[in-house]
A and B are shown apart, each in its own frame.
Chain A
Amino acid sequence: MKHPAFLAFLVSLLWFLFGLSGPLLVWWLAAEGVANPVLLPAPNQVAASVLELFGDGSLATDIMASLRRVFTGFFIASTLAVPLALLMACFLPLRRLFLPLVTVLRPIPPIAWIPLAILWFGLGDKPSYFITALAAFFPIFLNAFAGAADVDPRHVYAARFLGAGRWRMVRHIYLMSALPHIWTGLRIGLGQSWMAVVTAELIAAQSGLGYMIQANRINLETRHVLTGMIVIGVLGALMTTALGWCEKFILPWKHQRQ
């Protein structure tokens, strides 16, 4: 019975590629029209650039640097945001204490933190960790908080009648009840973090995909810039898809068949 699932996957992949072929054609025609590889290199020139940068190993290094920053920042953000959100949803004094700070900090975009990040952490990995963590924190926190605050009072009462103490209540009722929201937050957070790492590297780093784009812009190597952009797009899409596949392991009760 494995074949139908594999076939369905193959078919959806073909449709996906088919959907991209139109824009690719437009790009190709536009590049022919412009006829200036600095303004708009053609797809085949970019493909050559991809091979070239993979060949000398620089692209792999940049990808690894960016991924490391994203996942470190994302990990820091989720380990802080989820517990904080749950505790704030469960305990009113904590909510009163922290909600004003969160409300004021939230509208500040990660990019506005870059000057401070450089001043505090210098150049390199550390300011990027700070920026990616910051970018992921708020979507994770806000979704987790909304989810935990939205817990069904019947579940809370039922758990209390069943003798649940505070810890069991937070762990098994608030956390689990909020998990679909938290999962949404994590997905958005990872996306935000991935976008923020490029921003951070444009300014505050000496490696990574953002830095690579910036350096090639200065050298007018537009085809390398486009390579960087495409790699960012493809990796971001892969992350989203991978998380989508993980969902049935994280939220198994949403996927059990009747």
Chain B
Amino acid sequence: MTANRRFEAGQRLRDIAAGRLRRHCATGAVALDDISVSFFSDRSVTVVSGVSLTILPGEFVTFLGPSGCGKTTLLNLIGGMIRPTTGKVHIDGALVTEPTPVCNIVFQQHSLFGWMRAIDNVAFGPRAMGHPDPRGEAMRFLRLVGLDNHADAYPAALSGGMQQRVAIARALATAPSVLLMDEPFGALDAQTRSIMQEELLKLRRDIAPTVIFVTHDVDEALLLSDRIFVMRAMPGGLKEEITLDGEFRHETDVLRNGKYRKLRQHILTQIREETLKVFNRPDGGR
């Protein structure tokens, strides 16, 4: 599998270099170099240790694991919301030190500005970045997520799924190179969640930033990702890397696919192992 990934990666870099992929795919390369994160001044709590990885421009990468494995921490590191205790994060060769419009983020829920109508939430980024027609731009992205007829609604008047679509439109409206998604569909019901996953894949066909996705849902990871990093716990880190290149994205009935079922079972076993590790510690992993 690893050899296959190397080949794919090499092929993609050659494609980019040859201009065969879309231009905006050429930004959004993320490199984590021997990252560790410890909290408290004596570094007594290590959340993540020894993580090195490279993410290609336009790739859809998922961090998958039980809670407490540091997957959100990795996301926050890439966004510059926290700084590593050791190691460095680079995006397109530039060192990440703080949140900037190179990235954008979609949180699990309640991150829309409640005092702004949907359209003003989406127009916030274009406005801040001096776009000549922020409302027009916002409308374009609202149309993209199918909410142009809810432009004047305040977030509280929208359903959870609609709120997340506005959040995605808002995040895409500044054309980030890297889109960070922290369990973006985690608070939605199963039906809405599955529709949102399809919508996200559709959006990605038109606008192709690098997506870094965090979830504990194995099916979600398998359906969406080019590559999955299964996380280990205590301290958090990478346990296994699985390259899919989105092969399950367009399957209508994945559960009948033998390879899918096998992979799914394999990942569930891996995650269970890590969850038990946290669970069996006398202090419950705290």
Given known contacts A162-B101, A163-B125, A164-B128, A253 and B154 CB-to-CB distance under 8 angstroms: yes
How many whole Å from A171's CB to the nearest CB in chain B? 11
Given known contacts A162-B170, A162-B174, A253-B115, A154 and B103 CB-to-CB distance under 8 angstroms: no
Which A residues are CB-close (under 8 A) to B125? 161-163
Nearest opposing residue in chain B for A158, CB measure: B111
A179 interfacial by beta-carbon distance below 8 Å: yes
B113 interfacial by beta-carbon distance below 8 Å: yes
Q: Could you tell me the dominant secondary structure of chain A's interface residues?
A: helix
Which A residues are CB-close (under 8 A) to B111? 152, 154-155, 158
Q: Could you tell me the dominant secondary structure of chain B's interface residues?
A: loop
B79 interfacial by beta-carbon distance below 8 Å: yes
Nearest opposing residue in chain B for A155, CB measure: B113
Partner of A163, one of B114, B115, B174: B174
B128 x A177 contact (CB < 8 A): no
A163 x B154 contact (CB < 8 A): no
How many whole Å from B107's CB to the nearest CB in chain A? 5
Nearest opposing residue in chain B for A165, CB measure: B128
What is the number of residues of chain B that contact chain A, defined by CB distance less than 8 Å? Answer: 29
Nearest opposing residue in chain A for B167, CB measure: A158
How many whole Å from A232's CB to the nearest CB in chain B? 35
B105 x A253 contact (CB < 8 A): no
Nearest opposing residue in chain A for B128, CB measure: A163
A-facing residues in B89-119 (Cβ within 8 Å): 98-101, 103-105, 107, 110-111, 113-116
A103 interfacial by beta-carbon distance below 8 Å: no
Given known contacts A162-B101, A163-B101, A253-B154, A154 and B128 CB-to-CB distance under 8 angstroms: no
A226 interfacial by beta-carbon distance below 8 Å: no
A161 x B171 contact (CB < 8 A): yes
Which B residues are CB-close (under 8 A) to A168? 128
B176 interfacial by beta-carbon distance below 8 Å: yes
What is the number of residues of chain A that contact chain B, defined by CB distance less than 8 Å? Answer: 25
B129 interfacial by beta-carbon distance below 8 Å: yes
A257 interfacial by beta-carbon distance below 8 Å: yes
A198 interfacial by beta-carbon distance below 8 Å: no
B115 x A177 contact (CB < 8 A): yes
A256 x B124 contact (CB < 8 A): no
Q: How far is the CA of A21 from the CA of B103 in the complex (A)?
A: 64
Residues 118-130 of chain A: 1 if any B CB is under 8 Å from the residue's CB, otherwise 0? 0000000000000
A-facing residues in B108-148 (Cβ within 8 Å): 110-111, 113-116, 124-125, 128-129
Which A residues are CB-close (under 8 A) to B124? 159, 162, 164, 172
Partner of A176, one of B100, B115, B128, B174: B115
Given known contacts A161-B105, A163-B101, A172-B124, A179 and B115 CB-to-CB distance under 8 angstroms: yes
Which B residues are CB-close (under 8 A) to A86? none
Which B residues are CB-close (under 8 A) to A257? 157
A157 interfacial by beta-carbon distance below 8 Å: yes
Closest 3 CB pairs of A and B: A162-B125, A160-B99, A163-B128
List residues of chain B with CB under 8 Å of any chain A CB: 79, 81, 98-101, 103-105, 107, 110-111, 113-116, 124-125, 128-129, 153-157, 170-171, 174, 176
List residues of chain A with CB under 8 Å of any chain B CB: 152, 154-155, 157-165, 168, 172-173, 176-177, 179, 251-254, 256-258
What 6 additional pairs, Cβ within 8 angstroms, besides A159-B124, A159-B128, A161-B103? A160-B98, A162-B128, A162-B170, A164-B128, A176-B115, A256-B157
